[in-house]
Copies of this chain bind each other. A is one copy, B any other.
């Protein structure tokens, strides 16, 4: 059941870069694509420079693929007009091209920000209604609804990985929200090797003691994370300031995105390098 051809979008982005090598081993041919260059290629990997917002580009990239891992997007909050092309229209382009080429499944890099306004003392499962915290999160909601429709109307499967925070554990929120590199790889692998998925949603989070989200409804995917951010808890908590439970940025799943002004970068105060660019 090794795949013949697999496409990875956003291959030059932070998470895309992590995924290139492991994905290259799951298929005969990995087609990586991004609006930026990715540098040296792995065995079995080819690269096509392409713009998500351009339908013809996507048609060309996806032709002949069995599955698409769609990670490409602007990966921060930004004005709606900036996100419209890559994050909204880009998703449509990927799904429509996938449908036209008979692709079996799209695996999508969704985000906790699709439901970021829920307070953290609610343990949210994968079926709660959308509560986006930013235009960035709104694009994830849009894409999840799009993916469900393509499954129900056209039989195109998709799995939507709502990633919490795939970055260093250097703040209290990350004790719950961390997704380690190894667990990310396992997660994407399960999304690919599960024989049938239909439409599914799953949170991308490690086996953290304080993980605040519920993957029970996605149990059939077999994702069992191994890493635990609690290893960093003593250090992180020793240095942390007192937080304010009345600040959505502290109390809600979305973290800083829950309190940032719409359209402004939400990365300030988060422990990730600013890689805001189309990927």
From B176, B195, B216, A222 is in contact (CB under 8 Å) with B176
- Contact flag A92-B121 (CB < 8 Å), given A141-B145, A245-B196, A245-B198: no
In the bound complex, what is the Cα–Cα distance between A254 and B152 (angstroms)?
13
A119 CB within 8 Å of chain B: yes
1/0 per residue A113-143: CB within 8 Å of B?
0000101111100010111111001100110
Q: A155-B245, A209-B224, A245-B155 are in contact. Are A119 and B149 (CB under 8 A)?
A: no
Q: Is A243 located at the chain interface by the 8 A CB criterion?
A: yes
A131 touches B146 (CB 8 A): no
A230 within 8 A of B: yes
Residues of B contacting A2 in the complex (Cβ-Cβ under 8 angstroms): 238
A49 at the B interface (CB under 8 A): no
- Interface: A157 (CB within 8 A): yes
Question: Is B80 a contact partner of A120 (Cβ separation < 8 A)?
Answer: no
Query: Contact at B155–A199, with CB atoms within 8 Å?
Result: no
Complex contact A104–B149 (CB within 8 A): no
Task: Find out whether the CB atom of B220 lies under 8 angstroms from the CB atom of A152.
Answer: no
Which of B141, B153, B238 is the one whose CB lies under 8 Å from A1? B238
Whether A240 touches B195, Cβ cut-off 8 Å, given contacts A216-B214, A222-B176, is: yes
| Chain B residue nearest to A247 in the complex (CB) | B196
Say how far A276's CB is from chain B's closest CB, in angstroms.
Answer: 20
> Which of chain B's residues has its CB closest to A120's CB?
B220
Given A123-B218, A155-B246, A246-B155, A130 contacting B148 (CB threshold 8 A): yes
Contact of A196 among B120, B127, B211, B216 (CB under 8 A): B120
**5 residue pairs from A and B, CB less than 8 Å apart:** A123-B217, A129-B130, A142-B145, A155-B245, A195-B240
- 10 closest A-B pairs by CB: A210-B222, A212-B220, A209-B222, A196-B245, A195-B243, A172-B195, A141-B145, A123-B217, A117-B152, A209-B224
